[in-house]
């Protein structure tokens, strides 16, 4: 029988389910979905329910370790020695190579308070803006694109809003695998009669599952999202389906007219783009008509939109569709990014990007910068710092020498693994703070043990901007919450931080961030959760944004010219590889592989269409070599018509397959988000890895 219990928030995906963790002493014995959870209403998926498994796993490293160079064995040391070693090397790197030679990477797995302190360490401690977050490699185009269109880098709705959707348009997302609790909620609405449009190269479960069938599945070729959203817009404009009352009242009329003339061009007709997209024009026309005229239209999208060389353009194209049809500002509609990790939204909110202070204020904004300067007692650099890929490039050039990574396995999760490993090997100090000796730790000089979500206090912000408490249900096995470790490092670097608890960090965030002005642990305890902005204008938060006007004033229509990716198929690499996730595993698998979930999906496999398999003599379960211009890996083949001919698909949950060895360093033009979703490859049979 449990002896006590606490309510806390799942540390996996952006749905943000809350659980009651039942404890016996310092052991979690069960996690029960919390009936009052506003994101999950008492439901959970197979990941969250068993999440506590990795907290108790024997692979956890609980002692700090250092080594002079990466070819030496690790040496267990005291916290004081490890932190001192890290601080000395960071200082030495800055003295020798300049203040911009070091930086930090925060993680969407960490709390808001932890992310806030890591970016503060860069800005106040290193005096540069070399701070980035793993959101760089997933939803940075969302941050950019939605800010351009609406003025706010966040989804427009709460999850409950889907109950009023008449048409659900899912593009580049696989909710039943990647966001299962919300996926179930969506299916419930579909069973009640809502219509469904799925735009995805794969026949994901939503397309056809018991009692749910998509009205339109548009299986476009990977890399053609911009052509697709512009073709949909073409139909809406040319067939006079635009909600002109909404556009005239809410959007910049001149920009709208320029955009309408652009999309009306014949080269963006579904017929003209049929061969580019690989989708029948009639289906595109039918889907456009359904979205524009079927009642409340709600768009949900995921990494299949953002992880492209035109990721930001597609996000803005989606915003164009919603504005043109008036599908914003009320229940049942909206533009809703389904965030991959639990705290992607929060990590971005907290100023983890090199160009933005907390609350999405540009670092060149004098008033915003001065507020932080006054509070922190330093002069801040008004120039944006290095993004993650820029850090890697600078490291290879020899100008970037030190990195502190909290909770992110960059070697496994970033594209073009060989490039990342060369960059890491060229640094003089790499500090990895994590639960396990992850792949990146192979290149680290300092390993600082991390704490799980069960061992610390703080907050996560889910995909609907909902800030929820993370509650310490057991003592940190390593001795410290992650924010405490950052504080130790900051103070060793000469700063004078005195946070007694995570609540005090949130108080500072609220003091300096207008959209969080009314957030405190006390307020969260009273309200259960709060959806930002929380301030004088919306003291109890804002479930639905842009009701009476956009945050930027008039909504902005952006021209979305389709530019084909540089990644081309050809005789050497004739197939397009796209990647994604599966229900039972989470991202690089560092956590889920160490839970009960390890029994499901024990390896990544390559989905290949029967025609492509036959052409290559590949049989079900065969080992196949997947080779690209960047590298090659070996997986087992799964023959399925879920993928179209010419397209292959895999997941990236297992380090032995290293899917990112083959992905390229192409990236989004605006944000450098990697183009994980489009890699030209060849597939051939082989004897094994
Ligand atoms: Fe909920 Fe996502 Fe956690 Fe599953 S992984 S329990 S859907 S937050």
Residue whose CB lies within 8 A of the most ligand 1 atoms, among 20, 108, 109, 181, for a mutation test: 181
- Whether 542 maps to a domain, the answer reads no
- Whether 70 maps to a domain, the answer reads yes
Q: Is the CB of 340 under 6 A from ligand 1?
A: no
Report the separation in Å between the CA atom of 458 and the middle of ligand 1, taken as the mean of its atom positions.
Answer: 18
Domain count, the chain: 4
Indicate if 176 and 206 belong to the same structural domain: yes
Q: 451 vs 51, 115, 292, 474, 481, CA distance in Å? A: 14, 14, 48, 10, 6
The string of pLDDT tens digits covering residues 273-301 is: 999 999 999 999 999 999 999 999 999 99
Indicate if 29 and 48 belong to the same structural domain: yes
Instruction: For the chain, count helices (H), then strands (E).
Output: 22, 28
User: Are 75 and 621 within 8 A, CB to CB?
Assistant: no
Taking 70 as the threshold, does the pLDDT of residue 654 lie above it?
no
Within 8 A by CB and 6+ apart from 244, the residues are none
The per-residue pLDDT for 14 is 86
The per-residue pLDDT for 244 is 97
- Whether 637 maps to a domain, the answer reads yes
Report the separation in Å between the CA atom of 455 and the middle of ligand 1, taken as the mean of its atom positions.
Answer: 18
The per-residue pLDDT for 676 is 82
Report the separation in Å between the CA atom of 178 and the middle of ligand 1, taken as the mean of its atom positions.
Answer: 9
Indicate if 442 and 397 belong to the same structural domain: yes
Taking 70 as the threshold, does the pLDDT of residue 592 lie above it?
no
The per-residue pLDDT for 655 is 59
Domain boundary among 13, 33, 56: 56
Quick check: ipTM above 0.95? yes
Q: Is the CB of 361 under 6 A from ligand 1?
A: no
Report the separation in Å between the CA atom of 235 and the middle of ligand 1, taken as the mean of its atom positions.
Answer: 37
Taking 60 as the threshold, does the pLDDT of residue 424 lie above it?
yes
CA distance 141 to 671: 6
Containing domain of residue 86, as a range? 65-138+343-466+479-518
- Region 387-395: mean pLDDT is 94
Taking 60 as the threshold, does the pLDDT of residue 583 lie above it?
no
Q: Is the CB of 180 under 6 A from ligand 1?
A: yes
Sheet strands (E) in 123-275? 131-133, 167-171, 195-199, 208-209, 212-213, 216-218
**pLDDT confidence tier of residue 139, bands split at 50, 70 and 90:** confident
- Please state, rounded to an integer, the average pLDDT across all residues of the chain: 91
The per-residue pLDDT for 414 is 78
> What is the DSSP track for 239-307?
TT---HHHHHHHB-HHHHHHHHHHHTSGGGSHHHHHHHHTS-HHHHHHHHHHHHHSSSEEEEE-HHHHS
- Whether 567 maps to a domain, the answer reads no
- Whether 397 maps to a domain, the answer reads yes
Within 8 A by CB and 6+ apart from 159, the residues are 15, 39, 182, 185, 463, 464
CATH code where residue 362 lies: 3.40.50.740
Indicate if 166 and 315 belong to the same structural domain: yes
**pLDDT confidence tier of residue 579, bands split at 50, 70 and 90:** confident
Domain boundary among 303, 337, 371: 337
45 Cα nearest atom in ligand 1: 4
The per-residue pLDDT for 590 is 60
Report the first-to-last Cα separation within the chain, whole angstroms.
46
19 Cα nearest atom in ligand 1: 6
CATH code where residue 586 lies: 2.40.40.20
CA distance 444 to 428: 9
SS3 content of the chain, % helix, strand, coil (to 5): 35, 20, 45
Residues written for the chain: 689
The per-residue pLDDT for 658 is 67
The per-residue pLDDT for 278 is 95
CA distance 66 to 76: 7
Indicate if 367 and 326 belong to the same structural domain: no
Taking 70 as the threshold, does the pLDDT of residue 535 lie above it?
yes
Report the separation in Å between the CA atom of 10 and the middle of ligand 1, taken as the mean of its atom positions.
Answer: 6
Q: What percent of the chain has pLDDT over 90?
A: 74
CA distance 651 to 578: 9
Cα dihedral angle (587, 592, 594, 600), rounded to 10 degrees? -110
Taking 70 as the threshold, does the pLDDT of residue 600 lie above it?
no
Indicate if 134 and 145 belong to the same structural domain: no
Taking 80 as the threshold, does the pLDDT of residue 649 lie above it?
yes
182 Cα nearest atom in ligand 1: 7
- For residue 608, the Cα-to-chain-centroid distance in whole angstroms is 26
Long-range contacts (CB closer than 8 Å, 24 or more residues apart) made by 18-21: 18/468, 19/44, 19/48, 19/49, 21/52, 21/454, 21/471, 21/473
Taking 90 as the threshold, does the pLDDT of residue 399 lie above it?
yes
Indicate if 155 and 297 belong to the same structural domain: yes
Indicate if 308 and 417 belong to the same structural domain: no
On the CB side of 484, CA atoms within 13 Å amount to 15
Domain boundary among 337, 357, 374: 337
The per-residue pLDDT for 168 is 98
**pLDDT confidence tier of residue 23, bands split at 50, 70 and 90:** confident
Taking 60 as the threshold, does the pLDDT of residue 370 lie above it?
yes
Indicate if 327 and 349 belong to the same structural domain: no
Report the separation in Å between the CA atom of 344 and the middle of ligand 1, taken as the mean of its atom positions.
Answer: 14
The string of pLDDT tens digits covering residues 448-491 is: 999 998 999 999 999 999 999 999 998 898 889 999 999 999 99
- Region 339-362: mean pLDDT is 90
Report the separation in Å between the CA atom of 8 and the middle of ligand 1, taken as the mean of its atom positions.
Answer: 12
CA distance 293 to 297: 9
Residue whose CB lies within 8 A of the most ligand 1 atoms, among 18, 180, 585, for a mutation test: 180
Report the separation in Å between the CA atom of 484 and the middle of ligand 1, taken as the mean of its atom positions.
Answer: 27
- Region 226-242: mean pLDDT is 98
Taking 80 as the threshold, does the pLDDT of residue 51 lie above it?
no
User: Are 352 and 133 within 8 A, CB to CB?
Assistant: yes
- Region 548-562: mean pLDDT is 94
- Region 595-621: mean pLDDT is 84
Taking 80 as the threshold, does the pLDDT of residue 30 lie above it?
yes
- Whether 162 maps to a domain, the answer reads yes
The per-residue pLDDT for 181 is 93
Taking 60 as the threshold, does the pLDDT of residue 259 lie above it?
yes
11 Cα nearest atom in ligand 1: 3
Beta bridge partners of 195: 167
DSSP state of 123: I
The per-residue pLDDT for 480 is 92
- Whether 566 maps to a domain, the answer reads no
Indicate if 386 and 333 belong to the same structural domain: no
Q: 280 vs 217, 231, 272, CA distance in Å? A: 10, 12, 11
- Whether 305 maps to a domain, the answer reads yes
> What is the DSSP track for 251-268?
B-HHHHHHHHHHHTSGGG
Indicate if 50 and 74 belong to the same structural domain: no
Across 339-353, 386-400, 502-516, least confident range: 339-353
Q: Hey, whose CA ends up nearest to atom 1 of ligand 1? A: 17
DSSP strand pairing (208-209 vs 212-213): antiparallel
Q: Which residue has the higher pLDDT, 25 or 425?
A: 425
Taking 90 as the threshold, does the pLDDT of residue 5 lie above it?
no
Indicate if 425 and 457 belong to the same structural domain: yes
**pLDDT confidence tier of residue 641, bands split at 50, 70 and 90:** very high
The per-residue pLDDT for 104 is 97
Report the separation in Å between the CA atom of 106 and the middle of ligand 1, taken as the mean of its atom positions.
Answer: 21
The per-residue pLDDT for 11 is 83
462 Cα nearest atom in ligand 1: 8
Q: Is the CB of 39 under 6 A from ligand 1?
A: no
CATH code where residue 42 lies: 2.20.25.90
Q: Is the CB of 17 under 6 A from ligand 1?
A: yes
- Region 532-539: mean pLDDT is 94
The per-residue pLDDT for 287 is 98
- Region 412-421: mean pLDDT is 83
Q: Which residue has the higher pLDDT, 191 or 676?
A: 191
């Amino acid at each position: 029988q449990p002896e006590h219990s606490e309510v806390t928030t799942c540390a996996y995906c952006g749905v943000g389910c809350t659980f009651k963790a039942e404890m016996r002493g310092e052991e979690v014995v069960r996690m029960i979905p919390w009936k009052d959870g506003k994101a999950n209403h008492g439901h959970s998926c197979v990941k969250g329910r068993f999440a506590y498994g990795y907290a108790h796993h024997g692979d956890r490293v609980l002692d700090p370790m250092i080594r002079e160079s990466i070819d030496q064995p690790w040496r267990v040391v005291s916290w004081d020695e490890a932190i001192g070693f890290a601080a000395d090397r960071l200082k030495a790197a800055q003295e020798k190579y300049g203040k911009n030679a070091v930086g930090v990477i925060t993680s969407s797995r960490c709390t808001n308070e932890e992310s806030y302190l890591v970016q503060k360490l860069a800005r106040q401690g290193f005096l540069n803006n070399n701070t980035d977050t793993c959101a760089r490699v997933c939803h940075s185009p969302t941050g950019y694109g939605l800010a351009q269109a609406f003025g706010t880098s966040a989804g427009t709705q709460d999850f409950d809003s889907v109950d009023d959707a008449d048409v659900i348009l899912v593009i580049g997302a696989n909710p039943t695998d990647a966001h299962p609790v919300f996926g179930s909620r969506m299916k419930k609405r579909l069973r009640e009669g809502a219509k469904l449009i799925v735009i995805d190269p794969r026949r994901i479960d939503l397309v056809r599952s018991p009692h749910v069938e998509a009205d339109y599945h548009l299986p476009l070729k990977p890399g053609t999202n911009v052509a697709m959203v512009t073709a949909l817009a073409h139909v809406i404009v040319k067939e006079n389906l635009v909600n002109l009352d909404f556009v005239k009242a809410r959007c910049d009329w001149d920009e709208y007219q320029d955009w309408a003339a652009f999309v009306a061009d014949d080269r963006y007709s579904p017929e003209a783009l049929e061969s580019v997209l690989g989708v029948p024009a009639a289906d595109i026309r039918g889907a456009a008509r359904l979205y524009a005229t079927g009642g409340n239209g709600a768009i949900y999208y995921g990494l299949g939109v953002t992880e492209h060389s035109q990721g930001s353009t597609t996000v803005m194209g989606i915003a164009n569709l919603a504005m043109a049809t008036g599908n914003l500002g009320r229940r049942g509609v909206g533009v809703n990014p389904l965030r991959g990790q639990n705290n992607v939204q929060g990590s971005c909110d907290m100023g983890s990007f090199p160009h933005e202070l907390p609350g999405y204020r540009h670092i060149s904004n004098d008033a915003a910068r001065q507020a932080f300067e006054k509070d922190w007692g330093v002069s801040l650099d008004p120039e944006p710092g290095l993004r993650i890929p820029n850090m890697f490039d600078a490291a290879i050039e020899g100008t970037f020498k030190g990195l502190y990574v909290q909770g992110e396995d960059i070697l496994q999760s970033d594209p073009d693994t060989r490039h990342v490993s060369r960059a890491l090997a060229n640094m003089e100090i790499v500090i990895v703070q994590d639960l396990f000796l992850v792949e990146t730790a192979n290149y680290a000089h300092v390993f600082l043990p991390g704490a799980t979500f069960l061992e610390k206090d703080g907050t996560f912000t889910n995909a609907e901007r909902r800030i929820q408490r993370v509650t310490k249900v057991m003592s940190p096995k390593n001795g410290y919450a992650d924010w405490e470790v950052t504080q130790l490092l900051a103070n060793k670097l000469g700063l004078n931080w005195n946070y007694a608890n995570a609540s005090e960090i949130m108080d500072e965030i609220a003091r300096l961030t207008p959209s969080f002005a009314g957030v405190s642990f006390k307020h969260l305890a009273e309200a259960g959760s709060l959806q930002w902005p929380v301030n004088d204008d919306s003291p109890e938060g804002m479930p639905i944004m842009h009701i009476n006007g956009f945050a930027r004033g008039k909504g902005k229509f952006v021209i979305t010219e389709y530019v084909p990716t540089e990644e081309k198929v050809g005789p050497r690499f004739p197939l397009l590889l796209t990647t994604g996730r599966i229900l039972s595993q989470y991202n690089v698998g560092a956590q889920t592989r160490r839970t009960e979930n390890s029994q499901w999906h024990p390896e990544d496999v390559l989905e290949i269409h029967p025609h492509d398999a036959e052409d290559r003599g590949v049989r079900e379960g065969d080992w196949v070599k997947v080779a690209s211009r960047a590298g090659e890996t070996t997986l087992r083949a799964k023959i399925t018509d879920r993928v179209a001919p010419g397209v292959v698909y895999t997941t990236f949950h297992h380090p032995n397959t290293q899917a990112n060895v083959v992905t390229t360093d192409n990236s989004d033009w605006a944000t450098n988000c990697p183009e994980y979703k489009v890699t030209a490859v060849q597939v051939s049979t082989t004897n094994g890895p």
